[in-house]
Structure formats: structure tokens, C-alpha cells
């Protein structure tokens, strides 16, 4: 276990800052002194993050010093994400003291911290996340000269006047200091970024450059380039590409980027005259080149007056950003003049803020907002003092990512204002001022927005969370802060059958190095109870699947208010989705992939279910390409892993099977359908037959080796990387180091803390709606976001598909129920009354009745449950009170009609 590093004060960290040379705007790694001085990267710890950022970006982060000012919930979230990312140092600035309102959003704080300085109270728990990061505090006034110690500064609670002063200093500083201002006010949030007069983006989107294998190039003006048709090209018009390994037309191998146009699935036109070039003979790889991009940022002073285009997220609120731009200025004026926030529910305070907004708007001249939505401004004013956890989590992810961009040049910065609101999360019934009054509890901030009635519902809710990894840790923190399941009548059940590994620690922030090897669910639940001791949580280690329906039985599912998925695979998601549809429970779904995240709300009878739409299958190279015509390192690594598993796992397993039954196994092998497997087995058998097995002692067996990517002492990745690079060398394909080989061959899913935090914040904004009840489908939101670009796309969920028959209609959410221990004939008659002619009835995989089989008519007068027992040869579980049958039906015109599942309650 690493020794726990103490927090240091501002003087100590300033000495460290002064000793470290500061780079100019991000430049290539070889010119970056901080990258050169950065410590070695712990690849086991940061493997998932390395898969997103790459080694050079990580080195830049390891050399970056960041200031986070304002340690309410938003500042805490940003600091958490930066410490997990592994910056060199994080300095916390706050001259305020902890109060109960902070406990609604800052998970580092507890009741015993009330009265202490916010920044200092956060240090011990923040330091636990990463001992390699230097954490210090500034608890007094902050001067602009102190900002020169940092590559990036973030302010979460600062007046516009002071922000303009600090931003002007950062903008004109040499080199420029990245300045970020962000606020979370109730259900409203904002971000402003200024990375200086000129900022170089080294990698705009972080995607791997696209490649193609050349099939032909014409001697023409412009030249036509055709590629092999086993994989569609991903090029777009205007892309720059370079060529290599072209035989014949060697003029293209000069490494010069060339622009393409008329991009098609398997060809494109090159903006070049190749009529005088050599004649193309064969070969050639074409690779996309991603040039740096230079951005020129306005100062805050300029941008407030002329904000330009706002980054949009929800196009149903197209006119919202200009109004919110005005609202945040009005709130600043309110706070400056009255030295406080508007009081929740106060009509007078709301009107004062509206008056300020109108006054500011009138001074804008031609750029003023046409219509000021007074109801929206009332909501804004009423909840403005509150920093809500879900909003802090969401904006903490966004801002944390912007800091990474500022320190590394990786990904496109936010340019320059972003506004967001979730007023749809408010209860549908109007809130009375009396319901918004503080109760001297840790939930006062949340009560000031949603009211005490909803707070009570949150505390009494019964939630099932599936998974407690990266998403699960963030969710548990959020739920604990929101007060979910925090009363005796509430209950949060979390299950995960996995244990903690070292690579989890860089983003699954509830875990520490001393937890490695322990169950995820137990450790995460314990950590969540430390955040809020009143959390009523049960941690299980069961995989939620058909095999554990005795644990997660009917009574369990029927008791739930909502289900939150925190899963990492489609199979498990599909199963949970089917259970939620069956028991008609809301499902809050989310997922991440590197800088991308998505959320989907599955609400009974309002939205389609998760399984209603499927992502396209993952693109895989054809086996003929992998084995005979590799043209990139992915093909070589796929081949290398296949060889590893064939030689070291499959063959020893087959040998052991042969040794246990030589004659029987030899016969099976010679009749096997797989020619390659058969040939391999026959060689093994021939070898063993030749030696008559005389050299083997009784009980001899081989030890098959299963591939394990994360254990460097087993040399699995060394062998696979070696295999792949030797094959790559034979085909003139660029080789890769072992880490890159691990990403590809180990199929490591890229993951970072920022996108995970954002996803869970968005989901928890929806959870308010689910638990409040009464919301329409248009109030819910599904989201896709890519923090790298950045892109935020928010839309209403899709309603479920409706099926109609005669005067009836139903969706996937409907289930027909029959009470009574009925016979098959009675079931057919019940359906006949609905104008449906049933011709097939099944239970699970067992066919109970089909009209085509004469013998099945003998079953008609038997109870359905008895037929099920006879056919399936299994007893209906004692905890199950009903039998679900799938019935195939036709209408009177012989047209198939898909009907809901039919549940027969026989007990």
C-alpha cells in the first residue's frame, strides 16, 4: 500500500510551482518540458484512461497545475475528476465555511465539517483518490498574481466583475492561462471558457485516424483512388490523407498530406494531377491526417456583450441560451446589490431579478432578447441558491474535461458559452412557498428547489441498481446526496458479482488500493453510507440473470419504484430491460465509451423499451483479411490473439479430452466440421499415437492457459505483441508498443471519469421525474454527448410502438392477465372472445399446444399449469404465483396478430 500523502499549504505548493517550468500553449510532446519531466505512467492504474488520451496527453496532465475556486458541490466534482485524471497538482480555493446546504452536493463533506473552511475540509478525502497528486489550499483572498502558478484556473462562485478582472489577466499572461467560469444554480447551469488569444488543438476529436488499403490509382487529373471493398472507407470530403507502400506511383509516398473530395464507400478523388506520375502497380496504404487547429478566444468582458453562437444541447429550447445568458447576469447583479441569493418561493425576490434582467436586456440594443420568459426567470430565481448534486455531477464532468483540454491540447474546447437547464425535472404540481422552506437538514438545498413532499418520496423510494463499477460508484454517490432510500421505509439494493482491480481505481472513485480483490458492491455501498449514514442500502454479489430469479423474485421486482442500470454489456442490459417491461418498472439506462456517453429513459407505457432498438453490430475485419491480407495492426493483433488462444488454451484442452478418452475423441475429431481444428487435432493425435502414450504418467494432463491482459508477470501481452509485430513487419505495417497492443488485443473499453460523471448527473435529473410521478413523455430526456468535440444532443424519448386489433390497442408494456387455474380450452375461448384464433401456446422453450398436432387436442381439457409440468418436466417454482405463456394468434382473416404476454394466475 502506498503511504498516504498529506495535503500541503499554498506556500509549499507555490515553491513547487515556481521550480517547474511552464510551457506555452500545448505543443508537440518533444518540445514540452513538462511532458519530459513528468513521472512514469502507471499503466495498470491508468490503462482505460490511456486508451482515451494516449501517452503524450497523460504526460502533459502529469505536469499540469490547476486551481479550483469555490468548493461547493460543483467545485468538489471538478476537483475529483482532475485528481482521478492525474494532474500534477490541484489547489483548492475557498474562504467560506461549510454549512448544511453544502451537504446536498459536496460528497467530501459531512455534518462534522459544518463550520470548517470548505477547501480544507475537502483535502483528506480528495487526497485519498490519488496519492500522486499534490493537493493544497488557499483560504484567504485570491490575487490575480497568484494565478500565474497555474496552467488552468476554474471559478465556480465568483462575481462577473471579479471574473472579468481575473480573465483579463489570464488572457494577456505569457503564456496564456486557461480560464473557466462555471456555475450551477438550481436546475440551471453555465460554462464559459477562454483559453487565450491563440490556442492550438492538437487532436480535435480523439478518434483513431481512418485507413484504407489501396486497390488502384488512376493517372488522371484529378486522380481516382479505389480501395479494397472488404471495409467501407470512413473518409469525408476535405480530409487530408498520406500514402505509403505504393508500388509504381511512388511519387505519392513522400509523406505530403493531400486533400480528398468526392468520398465514396470504397473510393475517392484526390486533388492532384497524377498524369505524369508512374503507373500504379500494386499495394499502398492511405491514412487520414488530422492537422492541428488554432482557436482565438474572446475575453469574458468581450464575450458577455457579444457571445456569438451558443453551444446548443436541446433544440426544443432553441431560444433558451440567450435568455439564460441574461438570467445569470441578472442574478449576479441581484447578489452584488443585495449581498444574498433570492429566497426560494419569494415572489418579491423573483420580481427583483426579473426587473434586473429586463434592465440589462434593454441596454443590449439590437442584440436584446425579444421575449423574456418570466415564469422561467421565476424558477431560476427561486432555486438559485441551491447547488444540486445531479447538476454538479453533470457540469463537473463537462468542466473537468475542459481543464484536460486546456492542459493538453487534446480534444476541441467548448467555444465559448454553454447554458443548460432541466426545468422539466420540477414536479408537475405548482410548489407552494411553504413547501420550499428549509428544515435545518442536509437536504435543504434540494428542498428549496423541489419541495419537502418530493424529498420525502425520494427518501422512501425503493431502487434496484445493477452494477457498481464506474457508473455505479458515481450513482451511489449521487443517490446518497439526494437522499434516495434514506429513510427506514426506503431501500436501495445494489448488486455486482465483480471484484475490484487496480485498473478500476482511476475512475471508480469509491474504491481505494486497499480494496483490491474485495467485492465491488460491498465496498461501494459502505463508501456511500459514509457519504450519507442514513442511506438504507443492501449490497449483493449476484449477477442479475435468469439463474438468480429466486433471489430477485416476483415480490422483489413488484416492490420497486425504479431500476438504475450501471452495466457494461448489452446482454445484461437486455435482460434487465425485459424484467422492467414485464413488471412495468421505470428503467434509467446509461453507458459510456471514452469521452462519449448516452442516457435512455425507459418509462412504462410512455417510451419504447431498451430492446426496441439495437446498435449496429461492431465492425469486425473479415477472417480472410486477418489471415491472408492484413493491412493494419488491428488485423495482426486479432491474428496474434487467435494464435495464442489456439496454441495455449484450445489445443491443451483438446489434448486433455483426448487423454481421457483416446479412441472416442479420435473418432469425434476426424468427423469434426471445422477443417482447421480437425487438422490440428489429427496432428496431436498422430503424435500421441506414435508415442503410444507411453511417455505420459497416469493422470497426466496439460494446463490450458486463459488469456489475461492485466497481469504483466504472465507475459501474455508480451507474446501477443511480439507475434503481432513480427507479422506487421512482414507486411510493412507500422508496429506498436505493448500498451497499444493491450488496448486492441485485450479489447479494453476506453473510459474516463468525466463522461461517467456527466452521464450519472443526467440520469439523476430524470430520476426526480420518475419518483415525483405524473410527468408526460415530453418532459423526459434522452441524451447523447461527446465531451471531446464537444457535442450535447438532448431529445424526447420515442413512444412505444402501438398494435391495434378491432377496438383494442396495446404496446410492449401491456400484459394480459387471467385469474384462475384455467384449462387450455378455456384459454383458447378467452382469446376467441377478443376476436383472436390461437394456434400455438408455449411456456419458455416448451410447446404446450399447437393446432397442427392432433395429439395436442388431448391436452385441451387439462389445466395449463399441469400441461406445463408434463411437457417441460420441471416444477413451477414455489415463489411463482403465475405462469406466463406466449400465444401465437390470427384474426378472422388469417393475419398474424402479435399479442401481449398472457399471465395465468393459478395460485
Question: Active-site residue among 170, 227, 407, 624?
Answer: 624
Q: Are 26 and 202 in contact (CB under 8 A)?
A: yes
- For the chain, the C-alpha Rg in angstroms (whole number) is 31
Q: Are 536 and 485 in contact (CB under 8 A)?
A: yes
Q: Are 106 and 114 in contact (CB under 8 A)?
A: no
What is the C-alpha to C-alpha distance for residues 289 and 209, in angstroms, rounded to an integer? 7
> CB neighbours of 573 closer than 8 A, spacing ≥ 6?
565, 567, 589, 610
Q: Are 506 and 710 in contact (CB under 8 A)?
A: no
Angle of helix 716-730 relative to helix 633-645, nearest 10 degrees, comes to 130
What is the C-alpha to C-alpha distance for residues 421 and 425, in angstroms, rounded to an integer? 9
Q: Are 490 and 585 in contact (CB under 8 A)?
A: no
> Quick one: cell of 118?
470548505
What is the C-alpha to C-alpha distance for residues 811 and 813, in angstroms, rounded to an integer? 5
Buried b (16+ CB within 10 A) or exposed e, 3-42: eeeebbebeebbeebeebebbebbeebeebebbeebeebe
Beta bridge partners of 849: 841
Give all strands (DSSP E) within 348-489, no chain letters: 417-421, 462-466
Q: Is 375 helix (H, G, I), strand (E, B) or coil?
A: helix
What is the signed CA dihedral for 290, 292, 298, 304, rounded to 10 degrees? 20
What is the C-alpha to C-alpha distance for residues 639 and 705, in angstroms, rounded to an integer? 17
Place of cell 484556473: 153
Would you tell me how many other CB atoms lie within 10 Å of the CB of residue 623? 11
Q: Are 831 and 889 in contact (CB under 8 A)?
A: yes
* Pairing of β 240-244 and β 285-289: antiparallel
Annotated catalytic residue 624: yes
* Pairing of β 882-890 and β 896-897: antiparallel
* Pairing of β 134-138 and β 89-93: parallel
Q: Is 314 helix (H, G, I), strand (E, B) or coil?
A: strand
Which residues belong to the active site? 624
Amino acid at each position: 500500500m502506498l503511504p498516504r500523502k498529506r495535503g500541503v499549504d499554498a506556500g509549499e505548493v507555490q515553491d513547487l510551482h515556481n521550480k517547474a517550468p511552464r510551457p506555452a500553449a500545448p505543443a508537440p510532446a518533444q518540445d514540452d518540458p513538462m511532458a519530459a519531466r513528468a513521472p512514469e505512467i502507471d499503466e495498470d492504474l491508468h490503462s482505460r484512461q490511456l486508451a482515451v488520451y494516449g501517452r503524450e496527453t497523460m504526460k502533459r496532465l502529469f505536469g499540469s497545475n490547476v486551481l479550483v475556486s469555490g468548493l461547493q458541490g460543483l467545485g468538489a466534482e471538478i476537483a475529483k475528476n482532475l485528481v482521478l485524471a492525474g494532474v500534477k497538482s490541484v489547489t483548492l480555493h475557498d474562504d467560506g465555511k461549510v454549512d448544511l446546504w453544502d451537504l446536498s452536493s459536496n460528497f467530501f463533506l459531512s455534518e462534522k465539517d459544518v463550520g470548517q473552511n470548505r477547501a480544507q475540509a475537502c483535502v483528506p478525502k480528495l487526497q485519498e483518490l490519488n496519492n500522486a497528486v499534490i493537493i493544497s489550499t488557499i483560504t484567504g483572498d485570491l490575487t490575480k498574481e497568484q494565478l500565474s502558478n497555474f496552467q488552468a484556473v476554474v471559478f465556480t462562485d465568483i462575481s462577473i466583475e471579479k471574473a472579468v478582472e481575473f480573465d483579463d489577466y489570464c488572457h494577456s499572461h505569457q503564456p496564456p492561462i486557461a480560464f473557466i467560469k462555471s456555475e450551477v444554480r438550481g436546475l440551471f447551469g453555465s460554462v464559459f471558457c477562454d483559453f487565450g488569444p491563440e490556442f492550438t488543438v492538437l487532436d480535435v476529436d480523439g478518434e483513431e485516424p481512418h485507413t484504407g488499403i489501396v486497390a488502384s490509382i488512376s493517372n488522371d487529373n484529378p486522380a481516382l483512388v479505389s480501395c479494397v471493398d472488404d471495409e467501407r472507407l470512413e473518409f469525408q470530403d476535405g480530409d487530408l490523407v498520406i500514402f505509403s507502400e505504393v508500388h509504381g506511383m511512388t511519387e505519392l509516398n513522400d509523406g505530403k498530406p493531400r486533400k480528398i473530395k468526392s468520398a465514396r464507400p470504397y473510393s475517392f478523388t484526390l486533388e492532384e494531377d497524377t498524369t505524369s506520375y508512374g503507373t500504379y502497380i500494386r499495394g499502398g496504404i492511405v491514412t487520414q491526417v488530422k492537422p492541428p487547429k488554432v482557436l482565438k478566444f474572446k475575453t469574458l468582458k468581450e464575450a458577455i456583450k457579444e457571445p456569438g453562437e451558443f453551444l446548443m444541447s436541446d433544440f426544443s429550447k432553441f431560444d433558451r441560451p440567450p435568455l439564460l445568458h441574461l438570467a445569470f447576469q441578472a442574478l449576479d447583479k441581484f447578489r452584488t446589490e443585495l449581498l444574498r441569493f433570492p429566497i426560494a418561493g419569494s415572489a418579491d425576490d423573483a420580481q427583483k431579478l426579473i426587473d434586473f434582467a429586463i434592465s440589462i436586456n434593454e441596454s443590449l440594443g439590437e442584440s436584446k432578447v425579444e421575449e423574456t420568459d418570466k415564469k422561467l426567470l421565476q424558477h431560476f430565481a427561486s432555486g438559485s441558491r441551491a447547488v444540486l448534486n445531479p447538476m454538479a455531477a453533470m457540469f463537473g464532468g463537462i468542466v473537468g474535461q475542459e481543464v484536460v483540454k486546456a492542459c493538453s491540447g487534446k480534444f476541441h474546447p467548448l467555444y465559448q458559452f454553454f447554458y443548460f437547464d432541466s426545468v422539466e425535472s420540477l414536479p408537475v404540481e405548482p410548489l407552494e412557498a411553504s413547501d420550499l422552506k428549509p428544515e435545518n437538514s442536509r437536504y435543504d438545498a434540494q428542498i428549496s428547489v423541489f419541495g419537502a413532499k418530493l424529498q420525502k418520496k425520494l427518501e422512501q423510494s425503493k431502487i434496484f441498481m445493477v452494477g457498481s463499477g464506474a457508473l455505479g460508484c458515481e450513482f451511489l454517490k449521487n443517490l446518497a446526496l439526494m437522499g434516495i432510500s434514506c429513510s427506514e421505509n426506503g431501500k436501495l439494493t445494489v448488486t455486482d458479482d465483480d471484484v475490484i482491480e487496480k485498473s478500476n481505481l482511476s475512475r471508480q472513485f469509491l474504491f481505494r488500493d486497499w480494496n483490491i480483490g474485495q467485492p465491488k458492491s460491498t465496498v461501494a455501498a459502505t463508501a456511500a453510507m459514509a457519504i450519507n449514514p442514513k442511506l438504507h442500502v443492501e449490497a449483493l454479489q449476484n449477477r442479475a440473470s435468469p439463474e438468480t430469479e429466486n433471489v430477485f423474485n416476483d415480490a422483489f421486482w413488484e416492490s420497486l419504484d425504479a431500476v438504475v442500470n450501471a452495466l457494461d454489456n448489452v446482454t445484461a442490459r437486455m435482460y434487465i430491460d425485459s424484467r422492467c417491461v414485464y413488471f412495468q418498472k421505470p428503467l434509467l439506462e446509461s453507458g459510456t465509451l471514452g469521452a462519449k456517453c448516452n442516457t435512455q429513459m425507459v418509462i412504462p407505457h410512455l417510451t419504447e423499451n431498451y430492446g426496441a432498438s439495437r446498435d449496429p453490430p461492431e465492425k469486425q475485419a473479415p477472417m480472410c483479411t486477418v489471415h491472408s491480407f492484413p493491412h493494419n495492426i488491428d488485423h495482426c493483433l486479432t491474428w496474434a490473439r487467435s494464435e495464442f488462444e489456439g496454441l495455449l488454451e484450445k489445443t491443451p484442452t483438446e489434448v486433455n479430452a483426448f487423454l481421457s478418452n483416446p479412441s472416442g475423441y479420435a473418432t469425434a475429431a476426424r468427423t469434426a466440421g471445422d477443417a482447421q481444428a480437425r487438422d490440428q487435432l489429427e496432428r496431436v493425435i498422430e503424435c500421441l499415437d506414435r508415442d503410444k502414450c507411453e511417455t505420459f504418467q497416469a493422470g497426466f494432463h496439460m494446463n490450458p492457459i486463459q488469456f489475461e491482459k492485466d497481469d504483466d508477470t504472465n507475459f501474455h501481452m508480451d507474446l501477443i505483441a511480439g507475434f503481432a509485430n513480427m507479422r506487421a513487419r512482414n507486411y510493412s505495417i507500422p508496429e506498436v508498443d505493448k500498451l497499444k497492443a493491450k488496448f486492441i488485443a485485450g479489447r479494453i473499453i476506453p473510459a474516463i471519469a468525466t463522461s461517467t460523471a456527466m452521464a450519472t448527473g443526467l440520469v439523476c435529473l430524470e430520476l426526480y421525474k420518475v419518483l415525483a410521478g405524473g410527468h408526460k413523455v415530453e418532459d423526459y430526456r434522452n441524451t447523447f454527448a461527446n465531451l471531446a468535440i464537444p457535442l450535447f444532443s438532448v431529445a424526447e424519448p420515442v413512444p412505444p410502438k402501438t398494435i391495434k386489433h378491432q377496438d383494442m390497442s396495446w404496446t410492449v408494456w401491456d400484459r394480459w392477465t387471467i385469474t384462475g387455474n384455467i384449462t387450455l380450452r378455456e384459454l383458447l375461448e378467452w382469446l376467441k372472445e377478443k376476436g383472436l384464433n390461437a394456434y400455438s401456446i408455449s411456456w419458455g422453450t416448451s410447446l404446450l399446444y399447437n393446432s397442427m398436432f392432433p395429439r395436442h387436442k388431448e391436452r385441451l381439457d387439462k389445466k395449463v399449469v399441469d400441461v406445463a409440468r408434463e411437457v417441460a418436466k420441471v416444477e413451477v417454482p414455489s415463489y411463482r404465483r403465475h405462469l406466463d405463456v406466449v400465444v401465437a394468434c390470427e384474426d378472422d382473416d388469417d393475419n398474424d396478430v402479435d399479442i401481449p404476454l398472457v399471465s395465468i394466475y393459478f395460485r
